[in-house]
Structure 1
Amino acid sequence: MRSVRVLLVEDDEPVAESLLRGLSRYGFDVEWVTTGGAALGHEGPYDVVLLDLGLPDTDGLDVCRALRGRSAVPIIVISARSDETDRVVGLELGADDYVSKPFGVREVIARIRAVMRRVRPRTPSSPESTPDRYGARLTIDRRAARVRLDGQEVALAPKEYDLLAFLTEEPGALMSREQIMEAVWDANWFGPTKTLDVHVAALRRKLAGAITIEAVRGVGFRLEAGKGADDAAS
């Protein structure tokens, strides 16, 4: 299946770069423009638009109106404007969703997937509806956000599930603490990362024997499936 193509319309460079990194890591194909004029003049095909309202050349609401007037492509407004009036106007002009800054990358990804499901609903026979298997014992149903060990559902806290889902997207890959915190907690997380160690310990305990989460000192973590209990020390 091809990548979802995203047109990102955002003039705030730190916000845009954070979204570019996060979305690209999850397999999205992102084109970034910084003005409303560039967005309206963009000729390449795209599946969804992430649209900031505070653009330097025009109001994002006008861009939203123009895009909706010529296409049914899903539009997700991302804005620092939290006023209810702006939300209502944006939705009435045709936006499919509205995300207020600050936000986490995973929240934006969830919103994208939600609007894509509405425009391209999955069929029961779709491969995406099949749980992913990791080794002989562990399965993750990403559609239902459920984890099973030896066929029995494992009760995970929301962030434990998010962490497991992230680490299992690339088994064997070394993920830095910064990458994990940005993807699982928040793109703008600046606090201590001790909470990450707590959640890793919980996954090791609940999924012992099915996964190994190796701690690499000074860098981050690497997950291996089907490797037995995890006794790796930091």
Structure 2
Amino acid sequence: MAMLETILATVSGLGGAGLGAAGAILVQRAKRRDDAEAAQAAAARAERDLTLEIVATARAAARGWLTITRRVIADLSAARTVNFDMYEEQETQRYTELTSALYRLAGQPEEFQPTRGDSPPLASQVEEASQLVRDLVHRAIQTPTATDEVAEVHSAVDAAFANVNDYLVKSTELATDRDVSPEFRAKMASPDRPNRSDPYPIGLGWRVSCLTAALLILGLSAAGAYYIVSTLLM
């Protein structure tokens, strides 16, 4: 009897140990599966956030590019003198920022890229429109530009921007998994026209940087003054 009890105890112990080991293995597998799912979710969020960042960069560059080109076209229509060097400097900057963002966006996951069918690449459309404006400005230096010629270039610029804008709106919707508001869509489709007193919005980023620096200095000065006063009153 004692021998039987010993055997049963041994078997029970081995069975419990086996169940414990199996349970530990299952727990480890579940943890690895959870970790893998968490890593995949984190990677998906990172891709989505990067896509939205690129879209925001492209949107700002597109608005700047359109503003500059529209201003030049308006000057040509009114037979005003165009500072080509000034225009080219600013247009090249915005054009480079825009096309670079479009190429980066094309490298994002397909789930964030709207279907465009057989349409020409957006960067190519922007490049073609930019070249049309440059050629028009060069010709205007020699001879007055014809109204229909200016209108044709204007249409090409607006069409390129409209295609880029539509693509960016759809990319935003795919990345956020929701439709953008009508107000936001209208704002993106109709950028504010530049102020007449600032014919070419040159140095806008520089002015913003200066304003930011000034606010930072004022903030630090205020913080320093607060610290000094607090110390004296303690």
Larger-Rg structure:
2
Q: TM over 0.5, yes or no?
A: no
In terms of fraction of residues, the more helix-rich structure is: 2
| Higher RCO structure (Cα 8 Å, ≥6 apart) | 2
TM-score normalised per structure 2: 0.23
Give TM-score scaled by structure 1 length: 0.23
